[in-house]
Structure 1
Amino acid sequence: MNIKLLSGSVALALTIGVGAVPSGASEKPNVVLMLADNVGYGDIGAYGGGAMRGMPTPVLDQLAAEGLQLTQFLVEPGCTPSRAALMTGRYSVRSGLGTIILGGLPNTLQEEEFTLGEMFKSVGYSTAIVGKWHLGFEEQSWPTRQGFDEYRVGVIETSESTLYRPNMERARIDEATILEAVPHIYESDGQGNLTPVREYTLEYRRQIESDIADAAVNYIARQAAAETPFFLYIGWTHTHYPSLTAPEFTGKSTHRYGDAMMELDHRTGQVLQAIEDAGIEDNTIVLWMSDNGASPDAAPWPDKGGSNGPFRGELGDPTEGSIRTVGMIRWPEKIKPGKTNEMVAIHDILPTLASIVGADLPDDRPYDGVDQSAFLLGQQDMSKREHLLTHVNNKVAALRWRHFRIYPKAYRGSFSNPSQEGLLGVQVEKNGGPDIFNIEMDPREEYSISGDNAWVVAQWLRFVAEYNESLREHPNPPGVTLTDPDFGK
C-alpha cells in the first residue's frame, strides 16, 4: 500500500494485517458499516446509558460484547465533517467540508477525492449505500459518482430539514419557495443517476428508519448469493432531531429521544439478523459508530435527551463530548472481543480497511488516518494514534494529545438564556496561553492545568506546525463559515 503521511504521524505498517486475510477475491470479507446520527457516548448501555436511562439497547450491547468496543473513538464535531473524514481518511477541511452542509451552501465533496466506495471498488467489491449521505448536492458528490453502485432511501442532507415545511408555512412562505427548500428521498437507477422519489416530510420521518433497515436487509440477502464480496454503508438518521419514530416505538421510553434510540437499536438488530440468516456472519466485518456527540443543549426541547456521558460539550464545538463517541467492530475469529481505551479515529477507517482488503490508496495527497489493522487483529497491543487535531469553522481549534486537551481559545456556552453550547456556543479569545485539560482526571474540562503544565504547549506547536507544513504542497480548498461576516462576498 502506498500512503503518504504527515512527517509527525506514526508511520503505517503497510503490510501487516493484509497477510492475515485470505488473498482470494471470493475470500475477502464483506464489510457492513453503520453510522448513527448524533448518538452520544452516554446513550448506549455498553457505554453507561441504555436501560439506566430508560432506553435499553440490548442489540448494541451484544454487538459491543461480541466485538471490540472502542472507548476512545474520536470523530469530527459535525455530521458533514465526520462523514468526509470517514470517506477520505483525511481531515474534513482538506476537502472543503469542515462545516455542516445546509441547503443552498456551495461546499460539496469534490470529484477528485478518493472515497471508501472507490477503495472497495478497486479490489472487486460490490458497493451500496442506504440512508444518510450529507456530503453535498452536486452530481460530482453523489455517492454513485463516488464509488457506490447503488443508493437506496437516499437522504442527501439532514433530518432537521423535515421541519422546514411546517415552519415555512407558518411564516406564510409561498409554495414555490417551500418546494425549493424542502428535502427529498432519492433512489439511483442503473446508470447511477439520482431521482427524488418523495418529499422527506415529518410524516415520513417516522417511517424512514424502517425503510433504511429493509433496504439494507434486502441488499445483504441479494449480495450474499453473489460471487463478489460487498461493502454496505448504512447511514442511519436516528437519533438526530426531530426524534419521530415508527408507531411501535413511540412512547416506548419516557422521552422522544429514548424512543429513537430504542428504534435505532432494533433496526440495527434487523441488519445483524440478515447477516446471520445469510450465513455470512463469520466473514463479515461489522462496524458501528456515531458521527459525533449528542446535542443535549442545542436540540429543540421535545428532542432533548442525548448524553455525552462524563464529557463536556456537544456537537459543533471541539470539546471531548463533541468528538468522543461510540465505536465498535466485530469480525468473528479475526478480531478478539473485548474493550479497549486505545485511541482510534474515524479517519483511520479508510486506511485500515484498505490494508485488510489489500487495496492501494493514491499517494498524491496527505492522509490523516493511520492503518490500525495490526492493532485490531491483535498483532500489537497499542494503537498507532496518539493525537488528533480538531477544526471548527475551518480553523484548528483543539489538539487531543494522549490524555491532554489543548485549546488556543476558550469555548463556552452562548450568552442567551438559557445558555447553549455546541453549534450555538461561542469562542472567546484568551489573554495568555491556551487552556490545557487532563481529560482522564477532569473529563468535564473544568480545571485548566496550563499554569503548571505549559510544557504541553510544545506538542501543540509541533502538531500544528506539521499540519501547516502539509498545506504548503496541498492547500485546503475554500470552506464555508456562516459566522464569517465576509461570507458570500
Structure 2
Amino acid sequence: MKMFILCFSVVLLINNVLSFVLSEGKPHIIFIIADDLGWNDVSFHGGNQIPTPNLDALAYNGVILNSHYVQSMGTPSRAALFTGKYPTKLGMQGPSITVAESRTLPEGKILPQYLKEMGYSTYLVGKWDLGYSRWNATPTQRGFDHHFGYFNEYTSYYDYLSTWKFNNKEYTGFDLRYDKTPSWENVGKYATDLFTEYGVNVIQNHDVSTPLFLMMSHLAVHSGNEGKPLEAPQETINKFKHIVDANRRTYAAMVSKLDDAVGTLVEALASRDMLQNSIVVFISDNGAPTQGHFRNWGSNYPLRGIKDTLFEGGIRSVACIWSPLLVQSARVSRDLMHITDWLPTLFTAAGGDSGLLDLDIDGIDQWASLVYELPSARNDILLNIDEKTRNAALRLSNWKLIVGSSNNGSFNGFLGQPVLENIQEPEYDATAVYNSPAGRSIKKVSYNTPLEIDDYVRIRIRATVKCVANGEKNPCDPSTNPVCLYDIPSDPCEENDLAKFFPSVVRRLKRSLVEYRKDLLPQIEQESNIERADPKLFKYTWNPWLDCSDLQCTS
C-alpha cells in the first residue's frame, strides 16, 4: 500500500510539472560557463577556502553533475558544446584558437540556431573563442541575436586589452564589443560585474512571453596578460586574508565575484517571475591551469592533472543544473555526461523533437535522466584523440584509458596538490548558502519542501571526491608507459594503474579508440597572419581581418 501511494505521488508530481510546462511555455535557459575554474574552487565540492554560497544553493537544490566531462581546453570544449559533436569530427581537437589565426568553427547548425528556430531570443555574453577571422564566423552570424563580450581566448578584466607575442614582438589590441561595435565606453569596469550587469539588463527588458536563451560565458577565472594575470576589486581580495599566497588570494576574489554574479542573475530572474520556468546550468570549460601557461592558481584537488591534460583534473568539470522542472533534485549524479550532451538535452527540454537534430551528433539526450533520475543512456565518452601529439583518452563505463601525453608529459607528475596554506582554517557556513541571493530566490519557486541546512551538509558530503585511503599506489606515466588504465569510481585520483591486470579491458578500449579514429578529421591548420590581423590596422582593436581593411568593415 505504501509503495502504491509513493508511486501515485510521483506520477501526480510528474503530471503537475508537465502541466506547468505546458501552461508556461518553453523554459528560459540560462547557461553559465566559467573559464578555467578548478574542481576544488567551489565549496559544494568540499573545499572551505573559497565560499561559493550562490553556486552551492543552485547545486544543492538541483543536481550536482559529478561525472561531467569536457575537453581539456576552451576552444574544443566550446566547439563540442555548440555542435553536439566530438571535436575530432570538426578538426577542432587541438589547441585553442589564438589571435591572427584564420581557423574558425566549421559551418553547420549550432545550439543557438536550433533554439532561435524554436522561437528563442538568443544572447551571448562574454567569451566566444571560436574564431573571428571573418565576420560570418562571429556570434551574431552564428545564431545569437546579440553578443556583448570578446572574441579571443582572454582579455584584461578592466582595460579589455589582449596582448600576444609573435616573433618576440608584442601586439596589443582592444577586445570588447557590443555586436560588431567596439565598446570603449566600458573601460574601467570589472569584467565579471560588467557582463552580469548586461545579463541582468537583458532579463529586466525581456518580453517574458518569449523564451530566452542567455549564455553567460565569463572571462572569470582565466588569467590575463603577463604582468597582471589576476585581477579583482581590492575590497573583495581583502575578504580572503586567511589565504597566505597573494596570487591565490586574488584568484579566490575572482571566484567570489563569479559566485556573486550567479546570485545576482538568479535574483533578476526571480524579480521578473521567470525563475519558476527556467533552467540554469553552470559548468567550467576545463580544469584549472595550476601550473604552466595561463597559470591562474586554481586547484583541481584531489584530482590529478591540470588544464590541457587528459587526467581528471583537466577534463572532469565543475557542473550542476537547477530547475523547478527537475522532479528528482537535491542529489549528486555520478552518471556519465559529456559537454556534447547539452545540445540534445536542452533541445528536448525546450520541447524539440530530437529526431530533427543532425544525425551525426555525438551528444546524448540526458533530459529524462536529469528530470526523473533515470539511468543515463551514456556508457562511454571519447575524451579526445590528438593525432599530432599522439595523445588520446576514452572513458567506458567505470574504465578510463589514457594513451600518450600533452605538453611532452610536462605535467604528468602533477598529482592534485592540496590548496595553498591558510593563515587560519575557515569553517563552512551552510547558513550563508541558505540566505544567499540564489538560495532565497530558489526557495520561493521550489515545488518540493525547501531544503534545510542539514540537507545542504549531507549533499555536500556526497559531492566531495576523496582519494582512496590506504589504497593501492601503482603510478603510471603515459609518456613512458604504452597505456594507463584506471577504474575511476574506485580510483578517482588516478593513482593505481591496472593495465597489466586487465589486458582484455585494455584491448577493448583500444579497439574503441580505433573505431573513433575512423571519424577523425585532421586538425584545421593553424594559419596565422599577424601582418593582416595587426590591431593597429583597426584602431588598435582585435577585429576580423580577412576581407577587411579597417574598423568600419562589417561584412
TM-score by length of 2: 0.71
Summarize the Cα distance change of 1:184–1:281 in structure 2 as closer, same or farther, 3 Å threshold: same
SS in 2 for 1:119: helix
Counterpart in 2 of 1:157? Answer: 152
Q: CA deviation at 1:396?
A: 5.8
Q: Is the 8 A contact 2:192 2:258 kept in 1?
A: yes
Q: Is the 8 A contact 2:101 2:527 kept in 1?
A: no
Quote the offset at 1:341 in angstroms. 1.1
Residues 227-254 of structure 1 deviation map (CA, whole Å, 9 limit, x = unaligned): 2111100001111113211343233223
Corresponding position of 2:282 = 288
Residue in structure 2 matched with residue 382 of structure 1 by the alignment? 375
2:37 is matched with 39
Cα pair distance change 1:150/1:47, threshold 3 Å: same
Show CA shifts across 1:194-249 (max 9, x none).
Answer: 1222399xx74x611111000000101111x3421111000011111132113432
Please report how far the alpha carbon of residue 22 of structure 1 lies from its aligned counterpart in structure 2 after TM superposition. Answer: 6.8
Matches within 5 A, 1:298-447: 298=292, 303-304=296-297, 306-337=298-329, 338-360=331-353, 366-378=360-372, 381-391=374-384, 393=386, 397-410=392-405, 430=480, 433-447=482-496
Counterparts of 1:325 and 1:196, CA distance in 2: 32
State the 1:456 CA deviation: 1.2
Q: Are the counterparts in 2 of residues 68 and 335 from structure 1 also a CA contact under 8 Å?
A: no
RMSD: 3.3
Which of 192, 195, 202 is 1:209 aligned to? 192
Distance 2:374 2:232 in 1: 41
Native 8 Å contact 1:308 1:325 kept in 2: no
Residue by residue over 1:129-150, the C-alpha shift from the partner in whole angstroms, topping out at 9 and shown as x without a partner, is 1111111113222111111111
TM-score, normalised via structure 1 length: 0.80
The CA distance in 1 between the partners of 2:161 and 2:199, in whole Å, is: 29
Change (3 A) 1:21 1:291: farther
Q: 1:329 to 1:476 in 2, by over 3 A?
A: same
Residue 155 (structure 1) shift:
1.4
Taking structure 1 as reference, are residues 294 and 335 closer, same or farther at Cα in structure 2, changes over 3 Å only? farther
The 3 A distance-change label for structure 1 pair 84 and 476 is same
1:121 shift after superposition: 0.7
Instruction: State the aligned residue count.
Output: 434
1:27 pairs with 2:13 = no
1:95 shift after superposition:
2.4
Task: Report what 1:102 is aligned to.
Answer: 98
Shift of residue 32 of structure 1?
Answer: 0.5
What CA distance in whole angstroms lies between the structure 2 residues aligned with 1:450 and 1:344? 24
- The answer as to 2:237 corresponding to 1:250 is yes
- Does the CA-based 8 Å contact 1:389-1:396 persist in structure 2? no
Does residue 454 (structure 1) correspond to residue 454 (structure 2)? The answer is no
Letter in 1 for 2:175: H
Structure 1's unaligned 5+ residue stretches are 1-15, 189-193, 483-489
Is 1:195 paired with 2:181? yes
Aligned to 1:478: 524
> In structure 2, how many angstroms separate the alpha carbons of the residues matched to 1:64 and 1:324?
16
Give the letter aligned to residue 184 of structure 1. D
8 Å CA contact retained: 1:285, 1:330: yes
Q: How far apart, CA to CA, are the structure 1 residues paired with 2:314 and 2:527?
A: 19
Alignment partner of 1:132 is 2:178? no
SS of residue paired to 1:249: helix
Task: Please name the residue that 2:173 is paired with.
Answer: 182
Structure 1 distance, partners of 2:160, 2:30, is 32
Q: For residues 203 and 99 of structure 2, what CA distance do their matches in structure 1 show?
A: 32
Pick which of 391-400 and 281-290 moved more: 391-400
> 3-state DSSP class of the match of 1:252?
helix
In the alignment, structure 1 residue 83 sits paired with structure 2 residue 75: no
The alpha carbon displacement at 1:58 in A equals 0.7
- Please say which structure displays the higher CA radius of gyration: 2
Tell me the CA shift for residue 364 of structure 1.
5.3
CA contact (8 A) 1:82 1:346 kept: yes
Change (3 A) 1:341 1:197: same
Q: 2:261 aligns with which of 242, 262, 267?
A: 267
1:143 equivalent in structure 2: 139
Change (3 A) 1:266 1:126: same
Q: Percent identity?
A: 30
Q: Structure 1, residues 99-158: CA drift from partner, whole Å, max 9, x if none?
A: 201111222112x22211001011111111111111111322211111111112x11112
